[in-house]
Amino acid sequence: MIKITLRAALVGIVALGLAACANTTEIEYVETPVEDLYNDAVDMLEQGRWADATVRFDEVERQHPYSVWARRAMLMSAFTHYQNNEYDEGILAAQRFISLHPGHRDVAYAYYLVGISYYEQIRDVGRDQGVTQQAMASLGEVVRRFPNSEYARDSRLKIDLTRDHLAGKEMDVGRWYQGREELNAAINRFRTVISDFQTTSHVPEALHRLVECYLALGLESEAVATAAVLGYNYPGDRWYLDSYRLMQARDLEPEERPDSWIYRVWNPIERIF
């Protein structure tokens, strides 16, 4: 995944100019003008020395806690943690900034930094998806609070990708149940994809897997209704072709069934038929 750009992190945060850099992350307390501390940190940041920059930004707040630069340094410390893959530390620092400075002009970025830090930790679909849920909730908070910001636009894109990931997890579990012939459990997972993740890329396969499971259970009415939805919305898709072959093998045809659950769940505001 692509890291947040330095330019994005510095939006609205103007540097004072560059000064000489320190060479270590361990700083002995020596009272230093705030401008020197902050500019040293920015210099280290631009060199990709994330750990050194974090220490310097933290030192700004420690030595000059009531200065305007302390607030900026707090947010930049969260960013350098993120850049150094220290996501938990970055989240805590960003949340602290939000708590202490909820009206700051850069608070939208702090919310975004929390969301993107969770997003970067999303694992493959075979693992627990708790962090994926946290990413979606945090990115959703950005969209809700700052709908017209540049961070909201990127958050919406990542929410879509996150939803696709969660749908992939449901599919993974559903296929596992189906392989064990625990068909009712499999159906529940595939139905979740249809009802909760209807705009994701996994929907055509979920519909086909439902057709397979319904036919295996002898629920032909549900099978033909599901195949009809699949055929109407994805007529040339490989999953529909597979479902249609299964239907033909049993002398069945896809057919609208208004009494089927899928007719009620699929696009409830605007019917597809």
- 5 and 110 in a single domain? The answer is yes
Report pLDDT digits (tens) over 74-84: 899 999 999 99
Give, rounded to a whole angstrom, the gap between the first and last alpha carbons of the chain.
40
Task: Determine the pLDDT at residue 69.
Answer: 85
Please tell me the predicted confidence (pLDDT) of residue 46. Answer: 87
- Tell me if 162 is assigned to some domain: no
- Core vs surface per residue 47-83: b (16+ CB within 10 A) or e: eebbebbbbbbbbbbebbeebebbbbbbbbbbbbbbb
Does residue 267 share a domain with residue 173? Answer: yes
In this structure, the answer to whether residues 91 and 172 fall within a common structural domain is no
Does one domain contain both 88 and 186? Answer: no
Give yes or no: residues 113 and 172 share one domain: no
Q: What is the pLDDT of residue 96?
A: 93
Judgement on whether residues 74 and 183 belong to the same structural domain of the protein? no
Question: Does residue 242 fall inside a structural domain?
Answer: yes
Treating both helix axes as pointing N-terminal to C-terminal, what angle do 150-179 and 107-119 enclose, rounded to 10 degrees?
20
Percent of the chain with pLDDT over 70: 84
Residue 126 CA to residue 3 CA, distance in Å, equals 24
Average pLDDT of the segment spanning 168-189: 95
The Cα–Cα gap between 223 and 246 comes to 10
Structure tokens at 78: 């969260």
pLDDT for position 128: 61
The answer on 86 and 16 residing in a single domain is: yes
Q: How far is CA 167 from CA 139, 148, 229, 261, in A?
A: 17, 27, 19, 19
Model confidence at 123: pLDDT above 80: no
Which range, of 44-48, 59-63, 139-143, 191-195, averages the lowest pLDDT? 59-63
Q: What is the CATH number of the domain that holds 110?
A: 1.25.40.10
CB burial of residue 273 (10 Å; 0-12, 13-18, 19+): exposed
Do both 83 and 193 map to the same domain?
Answer: no
* Phi-psi sector, 257: left (phi>0), alpha (psi -120 to 50), beta: beta
Which band of pLDDT confidence, cut at 50, 70 and 90, is reported for residue 116? Answer: very high
| 158 lies in some domain | no
Q: Are residues 111 and 175 in the same domain?
A: no
**70 located within any domain:** yes
The answer to whether residues 105 and 2 belong to one domain is yes
152 part of a folded domain: no
Q: What share of the chain is helix, strand, coil (3-state, %, to 5)?
A: 65, 0, 35
Query: Are 4 and 105 in the same domain?
Result: yes
Please give the residue range of the domain that contains residue 182.
167-273
Range 137-152 average pLDDT:
95
CA 137, 143, 146, 149 torsion-angle sign: positive
Q: Is the pLDDT of residue 70 over 60?
A: yes
In a domain, 135, yes or no: no
What's the mean per-residue pLDDT of the chain?
84
- pLDDT of 55 above 70: yes
The whole-number pLDDT of residue 5 equals: 52
In tens, the pLDDT along 211-263 reads: 999 999 999 999 999 999 999 999 989 999 999 999 999 999 998 888 888 88
Give the separation between CA 180 and CA 178, rounded to whole angstroms: 5
Q: What percent of the chain has pLDDT over 90?
A: 57
Same domain, 1 and 117: yes
Domain count, the chain: 2
Mean pLDDT check: name the lowest of 3-17, 150-164, 172-186, 245-259: 3-17
Residue 197 maps to a domain: yes
Residue 212 domain-assigned?
A: yes
